[in-house]
Amino acid sequence: MAHGSKKAVLTAIASNSIVTVIKFFASIVSGSAAMMNESVHSLMDTLNQCFLLLGLREADRPADATYAFGHGQKKYLWNLWSAIGLFSIGSGLGIAHAWHSWHNLDEPRIVENVDFLGLSLTPTVLNLSVLAIAFALEGYSFLVALKEFLKAMHRDGYHSPFGYLLKSDDPTLVAVVLEDSVAMLGLVFAALGVGLTAITGNPVWDVLFSALIAIMLGFIAFYLGYTNMRFLADMRDTQAEMAFLSVTDTHREIERCHDLRSIILDENNTVLVAEIELREEAVIPELHERIEAMREEILESMPADKRQEKKARCYAAARAAAVVTLQRTEQIIDELEAEVKQRMPRVTHITLEVEGITSPTEIA
């Protein structure tokens, strides 16, 4: 399990749970449409982050008889459900509530001061106080997520946070950063709606900013859905493929490689397959002595009276040639795999097919 992602998710769940309760209290007391949509926003964030946590726990399970490469892709599935929930429930309910509030603007609403912790507060003061508390809690959650996000960004060699949002291979961390960012912006919208309504006496401002909060949720959910769909659609790992080509270009035993393909299973696991051809002048000269040594070793293992028989000597020569050739081929493949994995640790499975050995005439 990605430690940074888990820490960010747990922090977000804790802060959003508290914020959800106090926002709902303020919205019910004050009747503010913007506060109600912010309450729904925080509730959806909390539920969605629970989904993200479930995804992280599922992805951390090891490979088994059913899932040969582990459960890593389940994280993207849970993240996708999270995005769908954020869009269909959070954004949909928010827009519906804003629409309902718009059509009921003319209905009179009597709102009295609220006794809270021994203080008599007006609805406006209560809403702004709750928003200030929420800003502090969600701000802390945002800083935790941003710290982990920037740490991952520098680790992967990126310098622009906006560019890394599009390239990051950890959609869980991206989801938490985006949701916390949107949560902060939503608080600003809600404060503007409540404040402008109090200043002008026109509740249209409250409804307008509540609708903006809901629409904003829809856009962010669409982006998160797109991000996770990329990893569920057998996306190629172009960086891993470039690393493999770089290794084969500098490996003297490899003449050429083709039909190179890769699949990203999750941010820690890439499967890579390719076909390679070996270079004769780099492989063959080294085999003769090893074949002869292996042939003598095989003959030595036979009974003394059988060693000089033509059939036995032909068998020893054929077996020695086959064993040494396979050993040399396996050695080359192991060297390639080790170098590729050293450059790109996320390449956990490599399948190489040796098509043959090129002759000097083929090269010419």
Lowest mean pLDDT of 86-95, 219-228, 260-269, name the range.
Answer: 86-95
Asked if residue 221 and residue 260 are part of one domain, the reply reads no
Asked if residue 277 and residue 261 are part of one domain, the reply reads yes
Lowest mean pLDDT of 175-179, 333-337, 347-351, name the range.
Answer: 175-179
Considering only residues 5 and 219, tell me which one the structure prediction assigns the higher pLDDT.
219
Residue 339 class from Cβ within 10 Å (0-12 exposed, 13-18 middle, 19+ buried)?
A: middle
Token pair of 67 as six digits: 């899932």
Query: Can you give the pLDDT at residue 241?
Result: 92
Range(s) of the domain holding residue 144: 3-231
Q: Which of 231, 265, 298 is the last residue of a domain?
A: 231
Is residue 362 predicted with pLDDT exceeding 60?
A: no
Query: Can you give the pLDDT at residue 217?
Result: 81
Mean pLDDT of the chain: 82
Asked if residue 189 and residue 292 are part of one domain, the reply reads no
Asked if residue 269 and residue 147 are part of one domain, the reply reads no
Is residue 190 predicted with pLDDT exceeding 80?
A: yes
Number of independent structural domains in the chain: 2
Is residue 163 predicted with pLDDT exceeding 70?
A: yes
Asked if residue 257 and residue 121 are part of one domain, the reply reads no
Is residue 256 predicted with pLDDT exceeding 50?
A: yes
Asked if residue 332 and residue 192 are part of one domain, the reply reads no
Query: Can you give the pLDDT at residue 1?
Result: 40
Beta carbons within 8 Å of 70's beta carbon, 6+ residues apart: 59, 61, 62, 63, 265, 266, 269
Is residue 234 predicted with pLDDT exceeding 70?
A: no
Query: Can you give the pLDDT at residue 357?
Result: 76
Query: Can you give the pLDDT at residue 114?
Result: 61
Asked if residue 181 and residue 262 are part of one domain, the reply reads no
CA-wise closest residue to 283 among 341, 340, 330: 330
Other C-beta atoms closer than 10 Å to the C-beta of 101 total 22
364: confidence class by pLDDT, cuts 50, 70, 90: very low
Query: Can you give the pLDDT at residue 181?
Result: 85
- The CATH number of the domain where 51 resides is what? 1.20.1510
Find the mean pLDDT for residues 136-149: 87
Considering only residues 166 and 252, tell me which one the structure prediction assigns the higher pLDDT.
252
Asked if residue 163 and residue 15 are part of one domain, the reply reads yes
Is residue 30 predicted with pLDDT exceeding 80?
A: no
Asked if residue 225 and residue 242 are part of one domain, the reply reads no
19: confidence class by pLDDT, cuts 50, 70, 90: confident
Query: Can you give the pLDDT at residue 39?
Result: 84
Lowest mean pLDDT of 64-68, 104-108, 115-119, 155-159, name the range.
Answer: 115-119
Considering only residues 69 and 190, tell me which one the structure prediction assigns the higher pLDDT.
190
Find the mean pLDDT for residues 91-114: 71
Find the mean pLDDT for residues 135-139: 88
338: confidence class by pLDDT, cuts 50, 70, 90: very high
Is residue 284 predicted with pLDDT exceeding 80?
A: no
Percent of the chain with pLDDT over 70: 92
Asked if residue 271 and residue 182 are part of one domain, the reply reads no
| Alpha carbons 185 and 57: distance in angstroms, whole number | 29
pLDDT digits (tens, 9 = 90+) for 209-223: 888 888 888 888 888
Distance of CA 149 to the CA centre of its chain: 12
Asked if residue 356 and residue 216 are part of one domain, the reply reads no
Token pair of 240 as six digits: 């891993």
| Alpha carbons 235 and 175: distance in angstroms, whole number | 19
Query: Can you give the pLDDT at residue 110?
Result: 47
- Pairing, β 269-279 against β 254-266: antiparallel
Considering only residues 195 and 5, tell me which one the structure prediction assigns the higher pLDDT.
195
Q: Which of 201, 231, 261 is the last residue of a domain?
A: 231
Considering only residues 70 and 204, tell me which one the structure prediction assigns the higher pLDDT.
204
